[in-house]
Structure 1
Amino acid sequence: MRFFRKLGLALAALAVPAVAQAPNQLQPKLPLVPTHQVATPQSVPVTPGGPASLSKADVDAWLDGYMPYAMATGEIPGAVVVVVKDGQVLTKRGFGYSDRKTHKPVDPDMTMFRPGSISKLFTWTAVMQQVQAGKLDLDRDINDYLDFKIPPAFGKPVTLRNLMTHTAGFEETLKYLITANPKIVKPLGPTLSRAVPVRIFAPGEVPAYSNYGASLAGYIVQRVSGEKFEDYVQHHIMVPLGMTRSTFQQPLPPALKDGLSQAYEPGSDAPKPFEIIPLSPAGALSATGADMAKFMIAHLADGGPLLNPETAHQMYAPANAPVPGLPGMALGFYHEDRNGQIIIAHGGDTNYFHSDLHLYLKSNVGLFLSFNSPGKEGAAHVLRTRLFDDFTDRYFPQTPVNLPTVATAKEHGAAIAGHYVSSRGAQTDWLKFIGVVSETKVTLNPDNTITVSDFTDPAHNPRKWREVGPWQWQDVNGTARLHAIVKDGKVTAFLNSDLPQILLFMPASASTNAGWIMPALYLSLGVSLLMAIGWPIVALIRRSYGYKPALSGRALQLHRAARITAWLFLLIAAGWVMIVSSVSSNLEAFNGGMDLPMRLLQLLTLVATVGTALSCWNAYVAFKAADRRWWKYGWAGLFALSGLFLVWLAFTMKLMTFSLNY
């Protein structure tokens, strides 16, 4: 199960704007690095009696005591960190190498990184420019702007406001998300119309982060402006800001190609190919740290030359907060307010680059950071978390409030306990099963605190949460909060303050609850394994003793059909493990490479379905047999039940589908 769980966490995170402080469910690929592997800034203490001075000298000294050791122990080749304040660059720092082989250092002015989903901020800015120009209406049906149709669902149209708050209701899709093969990439319009994701929630009701939705917004900008999306961003955002070493073009234009940082897998010195994002408005940006400083400065100046103040304020204001009491979503930006600061932000991840952007609106301060590798055991994600948390606490400190535990802790802890699925998931394809095996489990502890399986500290220890208000919990060892949505005394969703409101954790239904499905799966496969290996073993024993079984005719044929079916189930299970392993280690497999194996497995599943029917018949014949030995018909019946469960699981988890879009 650990293998499938890791894959589930990996798939959930691809190109996600994982907040620097996101839990494992949103962290790409690997578990967090233990605490002893990441340095903390011990060398530059906070100024006694108040916050440290937010000056270039202090920030540089702090980073010098923070970054080099953390990157070395985390095996992160290169990084860039930029801080802006009051309309100026406070500091811009490159750390490590953009090319390990040549020892080429990271230069914040020249070295380009891939900020992943931070690209969406450019897309949302472009949308707001067109809203400001009167060409787009945030609350109009987006079908009015498209040359293909988003199919009707739930009796409500999808609007740009829905897209910008990730409440359009689209299910998650991963096919053709990232590739290194430019031959499979189509123009933006055909890419979006190739396969429209199913809408699994009514618009405006449930946040479910969507790369597809953001790309729709970019395509709408392209349609109403008459310019290709990447050209529009170049002409209306990058040129006005003087972002001369940034682009959405894929592959990079020749003039910029040599400036791109190499990308690295953990433990490897071999650079990886350029990652192409077919849904380009969702994550195709390449930019230097210095250029990202210009983008931050513009937004901190009420939109600067990009937006007028009224439009900018509309963009930054909270627009959706399904979980009351936690920072909400703005239009495109998400809020991560803390320490008395209003902070809007976005994060971004490709396979290899991992980045964050934070804007402290009240203080006119911006922080951007990017790494060119996930590092050893996901060290870059720990470092992202620590940098943001410690930067905020260092320069904007606030004394935490220690609230008492409320009397309802045990009652409400028992009510929230159970299995939960992320709203950012799939319901109509095989990724549904990955979501089930990577479910989040909430447990009530003997001391009336709760633990959430995906919320752990960097050393993988579960974080405990105690109730400090009605349906509100606080991290026992920190200030993070967890709030639940309750209806008629039942928890319908929860989220913690470490995550933006781009998804919810929702109770797993009976048909998707891993609490019983996974034990039943293991038991069923175990029965199939015993049935499969027992067949030749028993045959050899009988042959050695010269024993001839009494079975013949139809009874013998049914007996053999049941054993063949057992082998089929094992073959199908092994095939899915191989597919999962392939896409986990090579995302190109998502781009059609697994289609034929999936079709073969689906064909085998159809044969196994017929075999299961024959196995049920075999159990009936064994029960009706003259000798009626209980172990014979009991075992036959147990295998028939196991087969029925496995067939039900295959169809319920959407392993059997007509479409191979996922």
Structure 2
Amino acid sequence: MRFIRKAMIGLAALAAVPLAAQGPVAAPTAKKVEAAPLPAAKPVQAANLNATDLEAFLDGFLPYALERARIPGAVVVVVRGDGVLLEKGYGFSDVAKRKPVLPGTTLFRPGSVSKLFTWTAVMQQVEAGKIDLDKDVNAYLDFKIPPYQGKPITMRNIMTHTAGFEESVRYLISNDPKAVMTLKKQMPLALPERVFAPGTTPAYSNYATALAGYIVERVSGEDFDSYIDNHIFKPLGMTHSTFRQPLPAKFVPHMSGGYPDITQKARPFEMVIPAPAGSLSASGDDMGKFMIAHLNDGAGLLKPETARQMHDFKAPGVGPLNSMALGFYEQQVNGHRAIAHGGDTVWFHSYLWLFPDADVGVFISMNSAGKEGAAGAIRSALFHKFADRYLPGGEAPAPIDAKTAKQHAQMMVGNYVTSRGSFTNFLSLLGLLGQPTIGLTEDGKISVPGLDGLGAGARDWVEVAPFVWRDTGTGERLAAEVKDGKVVRWSLDAGSPFMVFEPAPVGTNAAWLLPALIAALAIAALAALAWPTRALVRRSFKAEFALEGKARRAYRLSRIFAWLVLAAVAGWIGLIAAFSADIGSIGGPLDWLIHLLRILTPIAAFGLLITAGWHLVLCFQGKRKWTMKFGAVLLVLAGLVLVWVTLAFHLYGFGMVY
């Protein structure tokens, strides 16, 4: 089910805002610099961070990692202070033409790293007095977002991913240029349901970021793309960057292809429909300029106090774990606080880290997910290996006593649901199929198999404080909130700023429901297939069918509905497969199938339950053999499970916001 979990991962976004009236600090001129050793969080020897050592380090790590992962190309940029330490391309931007990655001109798609531009634009408007971070955002909109539990959404909620929206993919990404639409049209059309009270639960939202971009557009009086051009790209001299879609002709020769892996052909340019959430195309050199601006207190973009407000804010989170700043999110490593953002389109995979205490920034982008999604592990390994070499920390904290650790680990075992997901539409079914679990290793430590792909190595979680675990390989932490002796939520450093996990409700817990669903489908399949098979056997032996009248009619109807159940299942499997292969296919091309399945599924499930129940009653009234009664009971139970799944996971209805 790994492909299903991946299919739910969203893009990132960016919005813009005017700079004219804000009196920004002049943008620094990028220049190559050499640097002294970085300050370590603890008295541990750091390697000398200079261009020579850095290039040797990257050359020893990335080429083999990319080749092993079958990723065609990547760009890496490292800056310090007001200059570039190193920017380098690896591999190919066009495999067929053997065209190398050029950090100065080759464009990559940073995905959700684009959101940092949106948040920068928002803070520009905060400076201009046109946006209040704590005001109901309806004040800036030309449509109304209904309150949830009586509470409105604020821009601070949006920037900390606590607006409470469920995941939305209907208008997310496509290969079709015609799918691109204005924010004015998209925002009311794509409004998702709110499922959490604002400010209470981190739940990553591409829609909310696009909404911020639309607000920037409205208060600035400029369309989003133009605003970014005029107030971010031009002040910083970012001449090889654009949010515009389709890609402007002057950039087409410089655009890297996006690939499934190096053995396959490049795929079409992706259209990120909520543009402020992830439509940026940019060169590595330009991303370096953006990092330099933020490392220098917003120079060229923001006043120093505004930049510090953005960088230093710390939203409430789970225990000691990383949390959101305003737009950026924390990534702690070796005692250093980085502010960062990752980004993924279907084909491009990127990350940006800023270390304010060391005055260092790192950006990487790859043009393929690679073999088994290896791009995620590569960028995680780069982050940790870079920090271990140039920003080393001290000794690991001591573990708590073994008896308590074992008890706490046992309390964590179970199935969970993630706050970043769909809850009120048919895509909630993906949550059942890919429900995260925590188990125990042979030595009684916690194990989170569904999250192993976030790192390059095996996880070894050691409890170092009550309900706080540390991975001995990376230093990343996992922590839980416990109330009345029960775990109520948990997360881990890599996702805690924008996602938490809560215990799966009994009714939708995959521990029992998934086996029950599989058994129900097997029973329905056996009933459906046995019907023609038994008819052929009777014909061969010229035997009479034992049932007549109502009993025969009930039997046959139950088998017809069993076949309808199989047809519905085949349709859902086809939809999930198409969605997993091309996330854009779910946003228009397959609407007919979605409508059909949400009509067919409840008819099949309820029809099976009703007719199987009728058949069961008649079996007892007619005093049929115990084997037929037993089969009828199993079919009724199967129908009950299928009806429950249909209702609990919203496999019905006509709404097209999902």
Pick the TM interval, shorter chain.
Answer: over 0.9
Residue aligning to 2:526 = 530
Q: Which moved more, 1:239-248 or 1:263-272?
A: 263-272
The whole-number CA distance in structure 2 between the counterparts of 1:322 and 1:545 is 71
Q: 1:419 aligns with which of 415, 430, 433?
A: 415
* Structure 1 unmatched ranges of 5 or more: 18-45
Query: Is 1:97–1:105's contact at 8 Å kept on the other side of the alignment?
Result: yes
Q: Which moved more, 1:285-294 or 1:255-264?
A: 255-264
Per-residue deviation, 1:446: 5.2
Q: Could you give the per-residue CA deviations for residues 141-191 of structure 1, whole angstroms, max 9, x where no partner exists?
A: 000000111122111110000000000000001112111212122211111
Q: Which amino acid aligns with 2:555?
A: H
Q: 2:356 aligns with which of 337, 354, 361?
A: 361
Residue aligning to 1:587 = 583
Q: Which moved more, 1:362-371 or 1:594-603?
A: 594-603
Residue aligning to 2:376 = 381
Matched, 1:434 2:455: no
Q: 2:308 aligns with which of 303, 306, 313?
A: 313
Residue aligning to 1:263 = 258
Q: Which moved more, 1:261-270 or 1:197-206?
A: 261-270
SS in structure 2 opposite 1:127? helix
1:532–1:195 distance in 2 versus 1, CA, 3 Å: same
1:457–1:438 distance in 2 versus 1, CA, 3 Å: closer
1:216-615 matches, cutoff 5 A: 216-406=211-401, 407-445=403-441, 447-456=443-452, 463-608=459-604, 609-615=606-612
The whole-number CA distance in structure 1 between the counterparts of 2:12 and 2:309 is 24
Q: Which amino acid aligns with 2:609?
A: T
Query: Is 1:420–1:441's contact at 8 Å kept on the other side of the alignment?
Result: yes
The whole-number CA distance in structure 1 between the counterparts of 2:101 and 2:399 is 48
Q: Could you give the per-residue CA deviations for residues 396-427 of structure 1, whole angstroms, max 9, x where no partner exists?
A: 11133141233422322222211011100011
When normalised by structure 2's length, the TM-score is 0.92
Query: Is 2:333–2:475's contact at 8 Å kept on the other side of the alignment?
Result: no
Residue aligning to 2:35 = none
SS in structure 1 opposite 2:115? helix
Query: Is 1:354–1:380's contact at 8 Å kept on the other side of the alignment?
Result: yes
SS in structure 2 opposite 1:491? strand
1:145-184 matches, cutoff 5 A: 145-184=140-179
The whole-number CA distance in structure 2 between the counterparts of 1:318 and 1:137 is 16
Query: Is 2:417–2:431's contact at 8 Å kept on the other side of the alignment?
Result: yes
SS in structure 2 opposite 1:258? helix
1:457–1:332 distance in 2 versus 1, CA, 3 Å: closer
Query: Is 1:298–1:306's contact at 8 Å kept on the other side of the alignment?
Result: yes
SS in structure 1 opposite 2:333? coil
Q: Could you give the per-residue CA deviations for residues 325-366 of structure 1, whole angstroms, max 9, x where no partner exists?
A: 112110000011222222100011111111110001011100
1:263–1:623 distance in 2 versus 1, CA, 3 Å: same
Per-residue deviation, 1:305: 1.5
Q: Could you give the per-residue CA deviations for residues 496-546 of structure 1, whole angstroms, max 9, x where no partner exists?
A: 123341010111111221001111011101111111111122112222222
Query: Is 2:175–2:584's contact at 8 Å kept on the other side of the alignment?
Result: yes
Per-residue deviation, 1:462: 6.1
* Structure 2 unmatched ranges of 5 or more: 14-39
Q: Which amino acid aligns with 1:503?
A: M
1:206-225 matches, cutoff 5 A: 206-225=201-220
Query: Is 1:451–1:462's contact at 8 Å kept on the other side of the alignment?
Result: no
Q: 1:624 aligns with which of 606, 621, 625?
A: 621
SS in structure 2 opposite 1:337? strand
Q: Which moved more, 1:352-361 or 1:407-416?
A: 407-416
1:285–1:459 distance in 2 versus 1, CA, 3 Å: closer
The whole-number CA distance in structure 2 between the counterparts of 1:598 and 1:550 is 40
Percent identity of paired positions between Structure 1 and Structure 2: 46
Query: Is 2:4–2:576's contact at 8 Å kept on the other side of the alignment?
Result: no
Query: Is 1:416–1:491's contact at 8 Å kept on the other side of the alignment?
Result: yes
Per-residue deviation, 1:437: 1.3
Query: Is 1:326–1:497's contact at 8 Å kept on the other side of the alignment?
Result: yes
Per-residue deviation, 1:110: 0.8
Per-residue deviation, 1:475: 2.2
Residue aligning to 1:27 = none
Query: Is 1:356–1:369's contact at 8 Å kept on the other side of the alignment?
Result: yes
Query: Is 2:201–2:500's contact at 8 Å kept on the other side of the alignment?
Result: yes
Q: Which moved more, 1:348-357 or 1:530-539?
A: 530-539
Per-residue deviation, 1:457: 6.3
Q: Could you give the per-residue CA deviations for residues 209-234 of structure 1, whole angstroms, max 9, x where no partner exists?
A: 00000010010000000000111111
4+ aligned runs moved over 4 Å, structure 1: 457-462
Q: 2:104 aligns with which of 100, 109, 118?
A: 109
The whole-number CA distance in structure 2 between the counterparts of 1:637 and 1:10 is 38
Query: Is 1:334–1:500's contact at 8 Å kept on the other side of the alignment?
Result: no
SS in structure 2 opposite 1:342? strand
Q: 1:78 aligns with which of 73, 77, 87?
A: 73
Q: C-alpha root-mean-square deviation of aligned residues, in Å?
A: 1.8
SS in structure 1 opposite 2:450? strand
The whole-number CA distance in structure 2 between the counterparts of 1:552 and 1:590 is 46
1:172-211 matches, cutoff 5 A: 172-211=167-206
Aligned residue pair count: 628
Residue aligning to 2:27 = none
SS in structure 1 opposite 2:75? strand
The whole-number CA distance in structure 1 between the counterparts of 2:139 and 2:92 is 48
Q: Could you give the per-residue CA deviations for residues 12-37 of structure 1, whole angstroms, max 9, x where no partner exists?
A: 213269xxxxxxxxxxxxxxxxxxxx
Q: 2:644 aligns with which of 643, 648, 662?
A: 648
Per-residue deviation, 1:49: 7.6
Q: 2:117 aligns with which of 104, 117, 122?
A: 122
The whole-number CA distance in structure 2 between the counterparts of 1:621 and 1:233 is 71
The whole-number CA distance in structure 2 between the counterparts of 1:655 and 1:267 is 38
Per-residue deviation, 1:575: 1.1
SS in structure 1 opposite 2:596? helix
SS in structure 1 opposite 2:570? helix
Q: Which amino acid aligns with 1:449?
A: K
The whole-number CA distance in structure 2 between the counterparts of 1:276 and 1:447 is 48
Query: Is 1:267–1:376's contact at 8 Å kept on the other side of the alignment?
Result: no
The whole-number CA distance in structure 2 between the counterparts of 1:251 and 1:452 is 40
Q: Could you give the per-residue CA deviations for residues 51-101 of structure 1, whole angstroms, max 9, x where no partner exists?
A: 111000100111122222222222111111001012101111011111112
Per-residue deviation, 1:651: 1.8
When normalised by structure 1's length, the TM-score is 0.92
Per-residue deviation, 1:459: 9.5
1:458–1:298 distance in 2 versus 1, CA, 3 Å: closer
Q: Which amino acid aligns with 1:132?
A: E
Query: Is 2:7–2:583's contact at 8 Å kept on the other side of the alignment?
Result: no
Residue aligning to 2:30 = none
